Amino acid sequence: MNVRTLCLGILSFRQMTGYDIRKLAAEGNFSHFCEANYGSIYPALSQLTKDGFVVFTDEVIDGKPPRKIYSITDKGRSYLFNTLNKQPGPDRFKSEFLFYSLFQDKMSPEDFRKLLVRKIAETRDTLESLEKANDCCDHQPSHFALGYGVAMNKAVLDYLKNYLASFDHQVKEADNLSNED
Amino acid sequence: MNVRTLCLGILSFRQMTGYDIRKLAAEGNFSHFCEANYGSIYPALSQLTKDGFVVFTDEVIDGKPPRKIYSITDKGRSYLFNTLNKQPGPDRFKSEFLFYSLFQDKMSPEDFRKLLVRKIAETRDTLESLEKANDCCDHQPSHFALGYGVAMNKAVLDYLKNYLASFDHQVKEADNLSNED
DNA sequence: TACGTCATGTAAGTCGTTACATGATTGG
DNA sequence: CCAATCATGTAACGACTTACATGACGTA
């Protein structure tokens, strides 16, 4: 799913600006399963315009920055639903954290613990914002996608919290042993 | 975490060929949180060699294809542990499936159901292979990383199975209603 | 004999990131 | 007045994907 298709999909819900698209894709209800920056969105919108998949109207209002409001065309819509008929590629998960964790026995316990604690906080934040979005949301398909993210992050949070507990337990035991010497 | 660092990390466990690295990164115990193909691994290894982070020996054995066996150098190891001291970037999750699911009310129930069923099968497969790998594995950090994947995929599988059940239930009810007409 | 696996690599192209450039408005 | 937010874009670069190119061995 490239940025062009992402934009097209988002615009199929309602017309909006490139700025709005970026908000949804990088901070909003779509951000937990996709990504897009200005640097890819604006060129994508140009291309989609060239292809006739979207059109825009210039909105110039006094006292506001001028905006381009993009809408999907019939051609764009049929292109979108056509690609949606193909089967989706596999989910992709990339975790620098997990890569780092492979070397936990090469780090000091304090360093690895920090890593864990930070990750737990991060996951908790993500989870909270997904749950909040899920509560507000009445669009059923978005609800499904948000719930997916909630389920995933809950599981990860549990896993990490358990691991932290057992990690602390182990460190404590090791301390006790060394104190007995 | 670019492919160069990934290769360096993998080579810090043991010496191996580019072919082996690809296996680990695309099919093995690392594949659930990273990706790499030949097309990125071989150039990465050349670069790492130039930088003095790895060295290789040519292995030429009669009746076997010649291989280059790469090992990490001290310089490479210290570079690796240096980057490991920085804090890791956030996990990235991309799901074409979730994107597609946003349009479930625009598809026929049969089409969306197929999507769900396929995803469930896929998740079950991933989960099984992670669990199998986890059973065999005695390297504790890998165990942690695999467990993370297991937890995530279990949660997703549960979520999808529940959703499928409620989906089928709804479709059935709708059928009953329309039959009563 | 044909296919799968081992094994290494290149080249073209796609795609996206980061940083830069600009400028207006709003709210503290 | 300063910072944040709204708003659009470009350019350079980096990174990875895909397809191509090659070849040997084992096995069914």
- List of residues 6+ apart from A35 with CB closer than 8 A: A25, A26, B92, B94
B148 contacts in chain A (CB < 8 Å): 95, 98, 101, 156, 159-160
> A68 by DSSP, 3-state: which?
strand
Q: Which of B59, B84, B109 represents a domain boundary (last residue)?
A: B84
Between A33, A89, A96, which is nearest B89 by CB? Answer: A96
Q: Judge if A23 and A60 occupy the same domain.
A: yes
Please indicate, yes or no, whether residues A102 and A29 belong to a single structural domain of this protein.
no
Assess if residue A124 is contained within a domain.
yes
Q: How far apart are CA B50 and CA A50, in angstroms?
A: 44
- Average pLDDT of B154-158? 98
> Do residues B145 and B33 lie in contact, with contact meaning Cβ atoms separated by under 8 Å?
yes
CA atom of B84 to C1′ atom of C27, Å: 42
B175 has pLDDT over 90: no
Whether residue A108 is contained in a domain is answered as yes
Confidence of residue A181 (pLDDT cuts 50, 70, 90): low
What's the number of domains chain B is made of?
A: 2
The pLDDT, as a whole number, for residue B181 is 62
pLDDT for A55: 96
User: Are A100 and A63 contained in the same domain?
Assistant: no
Residue B72 covered by a domain: yes
Q: Which residue has the higher pLDDT, B181 or A45?
A: A45
Whose structure tokens read 């479709």? B171
pLDDT tens string B82-91: 999 988 999 9
Instruction: Give the mean pLDDT of B67-74.
Output: 96
Are B101 and B76 members of one domain?
no
Neighbours of B75 (CB within 10 A): 13
- Does A130 share its domain with A152? yes
In degrees rounded to 5, what are phi and psi of residue A30? -105, -10
Is B91 contained in some domain?
A: no
Instruction: Compute the Cα dihedral for A154, A145, A92, A70 and give only its sign.
Output: negative
Helical (H) or strand (E) element with A29: none
Q: Whose structure tokens read 């995803």?
A: B119
If asked whether residues A78 and A8 sit together in one domain, one would say yes
Same domain, A24 and A44: yes
Domain identity same for A80 and A110: no
Q: Which of B58, B84, B110 is the last residue of a domain?
A: B84
Mean pLDDT of A158-175: 90
Q: Choose among B33, B148, B159: nearest Cβ to A94.
A: B33
> pLDDT tens, B94-132?
999 999 999 999 999 999 999 999 999 999 999 999 999
Range A8-20 burial, b when 16+ CB lie within 10 A, else e: bbbbbeeebbbeb
Closest CA to B115 of A166, A109, A144, A55: A144
What CATH number is given to the structural domain containing A77?
1.10.10.10
Residue at A46 is within a domain: yes
**B19-63: per-residue pLDDT in tens?**
999 999 998 899 999 999 999 999 999 999 999 999 999 998 877
Is residue A54 a part of any domain in this protein?
yes
Question: What pLDDT score was predicted for residue B63?
Answer: 76
Question: Within a domain: residue A91?
Answer: no
- Give all strands (DSSP E) within chain A, no chain letters: 54-59, 67-72, 92-94
Kindly state whether residue A57 falls inside one of the protein's structural domains. Answer: yes
For chain A residues 26-85, those near strand C by a CB cutoff of 7 A are: 35-40, 44, 63-65
- Measured distance CA(B56)–CA(B53) in Å, rounded: 10
Question: Is residue B122 domain-shared with residue B100, that is, in the same domain?
Answer: yes
Q: Are B100 and B176 in the same domain?
A: yes
Name every residue whose Cβ is closer than 8 Å to that of residue B155 and which is 6 or more positions away in sequence. A151, A152, A154, A155
Q: Which residues does strand D reach (CB under 7 angstroms)? A: A 17-20, 23, 38-39, 42-43, 45-46, 64-69; B 2-4, 35-40, 44, 63-65
Out of B20, B52, B84, a domain closes at B84
pLDDT at position B37 is: 94
Residues of chain A contacting B30 with CB distance shorter than 8 Å: 99
Same domain, B105 and B170: yes
The torsion defined by the Cα of A27, A29, A31 and A32, in degrees rounded to 10, comes to 130
Residue A25 has pLDDT above 90, yes or no: yes
Domain with A123, as residue range(s), is 96-180
DSSP string, chain B: --HHHHHHHHHTT--B-HHHHHHHHHTSTTTTT----HHHHHHHHHHHHHTTSEEEEEE--TTS--EEEEEE-HHHHHHHHHHTTSPPPPPEEE-HHHHHHTTGGGS-HHHHHHHHHHHHHHHHHHHHHHHHHHHH---HHHHHHHHHHHHHHHHHHHHHHHHHHHHHHHHHHHHHHHHH-
Provide the 3-class DSSP secondary structure of residue A181: coil
Q: Same domain, yes or no, for A51 and A75?
A: yes
Contact B103, A9 (CB under 8 A): yes
Two tokens at B175? 């059928």
Please give the model's pTM, rounded to 2 decimal places: 0.93
Average pLDDT estimate for A127-149: 93
